[in-house]
Amino acid sequence: MLTSRTQRTHGGKKLPVEVFYPRAYVLSKLVRNLTVKGAIFGAFVGFAHASYMHSSGQRPERGAAALRAVAAETAMWSLSGALAGLTGSLSYTFIGGPAGAMAGLAGAGLVGSGTFAALPSIAAMPEQWSAKTQTALGYTPPVPHSVYVPVTYDSDIKEEAPPPAPQYNGPWNDRVVFLGMNPEPTAKASSWMARRADVTVISPSLAPDRIRVGGTSYDLRSPRGVAAFVATLNLTATQTAGVKKAFEMCEKGARDELAGLAQIWARGEKGAKIPSRLVLAGHSNGDGVWGDDNGSLRLGPLLQLSRTLPHATSQIEDAFVTGCYSGGEVTMDQYLLIFPRAKTIWAYEAQAPGVDNGATIDQAGWERATRGRKASFVPHSSAVTNKKMAVWSYKTGYHATKAPLNLEGLKGKVDWMEENFLRRALVGEEYAYDGQWRIPIRITDPHTGPIRQYYSWLVRLTQRKDLPEDERALWVEKKHQTIRLLYYSATVAPRFTREYGAEIRRAHAKLGLPAPDFARLNRAQALKAIDKYTARLEKTPKATAQLQQVGDLLQRGLHDLSPSIIPDGWV
């Protein structure tokens, strides 16, 4: 029995009265009240979240479909709140006292946070669970709400006859736009440069692909968010369409950096004097720049933005692309399409120094060398680390360390290294053999070893102007695969597991297989696990669409190391 003390009056006097209630009654009432309140609170949170997602353009549904989606998410959150309230109240009921209260709060928090964490996986489940498979491989996603969506962007520069750039006769300035794809290195490097120059910094936003204009935050992951942001630039209809196309070409994750650049270039297009110098900083392989756990800002979107806002980019006279393999004759020609009035462009021929071992010193040297109208200084290597530079100047042309081989000799070297090193490493072998000699090819450090040497020669080959374009496309595809192999154990497999682990575990469980932890397996073990899954899938006559998609995901992602599954930001 539990008691409740109340005050009652008798003859004008207050008398204390104790009312006795059965314990079961009191506890059942507590459980009921907390469960109902949890459901109401969960419904409120779910409705607010769903309404925000749809109003900001982050969800694709419209009309009645949007209403159904909001109702479904509200119901899901209401159920989660009810379960949290039920869990907390039952914990308190059975334990009691302060310890019971703490256990109740912990149980409620665990249920609520678990539901929140599970929402992305729940949303990613296929709609048609009964779909039948035709073959283990060859299924072509995506369908709405599929397990994953392959990423492909028209990000290559294909122009051969660019339109004439507008003439800009000054006044020139020595202000700098520093666009960095990694937050901490960007902050450190730009602060050093800001001691000597007027620097405008563009760095990754705290929330990916979001930019704030005034008091409004725009989500650039959806067409509606992009359209709303581009409207703030106050451009003509033709320019607006061109800027939107640049965002369509830009992969998600790098759109906040592209938006920061678009804001500056839009002002320049409308007559403002924008900074004459630009730094693009991040990881690179000659196709653009990217950051750790960030998107890739490729050259295609930059060219599209430049073509749309030519009066702005005609004001840029000096550029420095600080990233590994950011130079090369072919890439330098592409930079000149983006910055048609440039007087100097600096880049790195092969590996570049990091922000803590020489990059800031090289950037300081570039800042001094490009002040005013100077264009004569041509550095051949990094000031500290002796990393080879690739420099173009309108006075002296292109300068870099030439490959000591002609085209046929270079292709022969790359072919030999591919046959003896790359193919063995792709299947997880740890040694290659040259006669009686055993050569270690296991990747223990992404920056050294035979596979890194092969990658360096491969990049040189893709930068040859005399390489036929049809062959270049094949070698560039091999280049993207190789850089992902170099970082397979360090970042690719762990990030892949973090992104798709829940779906992979569910699929293996439905096929009756133990789920492998790809983050811990070496390359050979991972390929063996993929083959085992594929074999079981082929023997399953009524495999669902989800099982088929996971098989395709494993094949294209970890087996083939395709850029459509493994983004640049994972390497």
* HEC letters along 402-467: CCCCCHHHHHHHHHHHHHHHHHHHHCCCCEEEECCEEEECCCCCCCCCHHHHHHHHHHHHHCCCCC
Tokens of 1: 């029995």
The answer to whether the CB of 178 falls within 8 A of the CB of 201 is yes
User: Alpha-carbon distance 301 to 37, whole Å?
Assistant: 50
Structure-token match 């008798």, residue found: 10
Q: Identify the sign of the CA torsion 403, 409, 411, 417.
A: negative
Tokens of 67: 């209403």
Tokens of 560: 């083939």
pLDDT score of 110: 63
Angle of helix 360-369 versus helix 183-193 axis, rounded to 10: 40
Burial of 288 (0-12, 13-18, 19+ CB in 10 A): buried
User: Alpha-carbon distance 492 to 337, whole Å?
Assistant: 33
Residues of 160-173 as b/e, b for ≥16 C-beta within 10 angstroms? Answer: eeeeebeebeeebb
pLDDT score of 488: 96
Residue type, 210: R
Longest C-alpha distance within the chain, in Å? Answer: 114
- Closest C-alpha to 282, from 362, 178, 393: 178
Measured between its terminal Cα atoms, the distance across the chain in Å is: 65
Whether the pTM exceeds 0.75: the reply is: no
User: Alpha-carbon distance 213 to 230, whole Å?
Assistant: 11
SS3 letters for 318-379?
Answer: EEEEECCCCCCHHHHHHHHHHCCCCCEEEEECCCCCCHHHHHHHHHHHHHHHCCCCCCCCCC
pLDDT score of 541: 87
pLDDT score of 356: 74
- Closest C-alpha to 4, from 24, 30, 26, 37: 26
Residues with pLDDT less than 50, the chain: 1-6, 17, 19, 57-58, 60, 117-146, 148-149, 151-155
Domain ranges (residues) in the chain:
2-123, 176-399, 407-481, 488-570
Distance of CA 464 to the CA centre of its chain: 29
